[in-house]
C-alpha cells in the first residue's frame, strides 16, 4: 500500500505530473526522484526491505512496495503520466527467476495496468547490449534484450528506450569501478593494479541524463507513439587510462596507477560511444559535462 515518506514535511508549490519511478532507491533512481520531485507528484516503487538513501530523506514522495500482493491494485487507481523504469538487477545475488521478475515481468505487468496512450514509459538499457559477444553479466544482458524486444511490439504507447553509455555520478554503489578507484586514490594506495586502460568509454555524467529526462517529459506530445530507441552519452569516447589519470590529478593522489598489470579480458569492449543522431532529431539536448568537468563535479559532491 502506498504511503508518504514519513521524514517529509514540506508541501510542493505545484503538482504538474504523476510520475512513477521503479527502482527509486538505486543510483539512477534516487537522482531521478530528487531531480523531478520539485515540480511533480512522485511515486516510488521499491522492495519492502529497501532503506531510504540519504539523498531522499528530505524529499516528498509516495512509496509503493512492489513485492506486496496488492501493489498492482493500488497503482491501477492512479493515472500516471510518466513511468520510469530505473530497476537495475545485475543478477549477482539473485536467482535467474528473481532477475527475470525484476527486469522483465514487473515492468510489463505494470504496463498492463495503466492507460497506454496517456502514459509515457521510459526504460534504460545498457551499452553492453551493442556488443553480443561481451561476456560480462550474461543473464542481465539477456533480460535487458528480452524486455527491449517486448517493448518494441507496443504500438499504442510512447516508449523511450535510452541505451546508456558509462553512467557515473555521486551516490553510486561503492563496489562499482569509479567509486572503487576514488577510494583507492584518496587513500593513496601505493600500487593500483589495472589492465592496459586503452579501452575507450563514453563517460556520461548523471546530471546530463537528468536534463534529458526532463526535456523528454516536457516534450511528451512531440514523441511518436510506439517504441523509440536512442543511444545516450556524450558522443565521444576516452581511454579509461586518461579518465583515471585525470581522477588522480584532481584528487592530488600519490598512488601509482599500474596499467598493464592485469591482462585485458577476452572479448573486452575496446571502444564504445553513443551515436546521438536519432536523439538529436527529437530532443534539443546536448551534454554539458566532458569527462574532466564530470570528474570535477563528482569530486565536489562527495
Q: What is the DSSP string of the chain?
A: --EE-TT-----S----EEEEETTTSHHHHHHHHHHTTTSEEEEEE-TT----GGGTT---EEEETTSTTHHHHHTTS--SEEEE-----SSSS-HHHHHIIIIIHHHHHHTTS-STT-EEEEEEEGGGG-TT--SSHHHHHHHHHHHHHHTT--SSEEEEEEE-EEE-TT--TTSHHHHHHHHHHTT-SEEE------EE-EEEHHHHHHHHHHHHHTGGGSPSEEEEEEES-S--EEHHHHHHHHHHHHT---EEETTSSPPPTT---B-----HHHHHH--------HHHHHHHHHHH-
Is the pLDDT score of 112 beyond 90? Answer: no
The domain locations on the chain are 88-168+203-234+273-288
251-268 pLDDT per residue, tens: 999 999 999 999 988 889
What pLDDT is stored for residue 13 in this prediction? Answer: 44
Q: Please give the pLDDT value at position 88.
A: 84
Q: What is the mean pLDDT of residues 183-188?
A: 97
At residue 267, the pLDDT reads: 86
Lowest mean pLDDT among 1-5, 65-69, 188-192: 1-5
The pLDDT of residue 11 is above 70 = no
* CA-wise closest residue to 269 among 195, 212, 214: 195
Calculate the average pLDDT of the chain: 91
Is the pLDDT confidence value at 10 over 60?
Answer: no
CA distance 143 to 148: 8
Question: Domain 88-168+203-234+273-288 falls in which CATH fold?
Answer: Rossmann fold (3.40.50)
Amino acid at each position: 500500500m502506498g504511503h508518504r515518506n514519513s521524514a517529509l514535511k514540506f508541501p510542493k508549490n505545484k503538482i504538474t505530473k504523476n510520475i512513477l519511478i521503479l527502482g527509486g532507491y538505486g543510483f539512477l533512481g534516487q537522482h531521478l526522484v530528487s531531480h523531478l520531485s520539485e515540480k511533480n507528484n512522485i511515486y516510488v516503487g521499491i522492495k519492502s526491505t529497501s532503506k531510504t538513501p540519504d539523498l531522499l530523506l528530505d524529499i516528498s514522495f509516495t512509496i509503493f512496495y512492489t513485492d506486496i500482493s496488492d501493489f498492482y491494485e493500488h497503482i491501477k487507481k492512479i493515472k500516471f503520466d510518466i513511468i520510469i523504469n530505473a530497476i537495475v538487477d545485475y543478477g549477482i545475488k539473485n536467482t535467474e527467476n528473481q532477475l527475470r521478475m525484476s527486469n522483465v515481468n514487473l515492468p510489463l505487468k505494470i504496463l498492463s495496468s495503466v492507460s497506454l496512450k496517456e502514459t509515457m514509459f521510459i526504460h534504460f538499457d545498457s551499452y553492453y547490449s551493442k556488443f553480443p559477444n561481451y561476456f560480462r553479466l550474461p543473464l542481465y544482458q539477456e533480460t535487458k534484450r528480452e524486455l527491449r524486444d517486448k517493448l518494441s511490439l507496443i504500438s499504442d504507447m510512447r516508449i523511450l528506450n535510452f541505451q546508456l553509455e558509462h553512467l557515473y555520478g555521486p551516490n553510486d554503489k561503492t563496489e562499482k569501478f569509479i567509486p572503487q578507484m576514488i577510494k583507492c586514490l584518496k587513500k593513496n594506495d601505493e600500487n593500483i593494479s589495472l589492465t592496459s586502460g586503452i579501452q575507450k568509454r563514453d563517460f556520461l555524467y548523471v546530471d546530463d541524463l537528468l536534463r534529458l529526462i526532463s526535456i523528454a517529459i516536457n516534450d511528451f506530445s512531440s514523441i511518436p507513439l510506439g517504441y523509440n530507441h536512442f543511444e545516450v552519452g556524450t558522443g565521444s569516447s576516452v581511454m579509461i587510462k586518461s579518465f583515471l589519470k585525470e581522477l588522480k590529478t584532481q584528487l592530488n593522489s600519490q598512488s601509482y596507477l599500474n596499467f598493464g598489470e592485469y591482462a585485458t579480458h577476452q572479448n573486452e569492449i575496446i571502444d564504445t560511444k553513443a551515436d546521438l543522431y536519432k536523439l538529436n532529431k527529437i530532443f534539443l539536448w546536448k551534454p554539458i559535462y566532458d569527462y574532466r568537468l564530470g570528474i570535477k563535479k563528482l569530486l565536489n559532491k562527495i
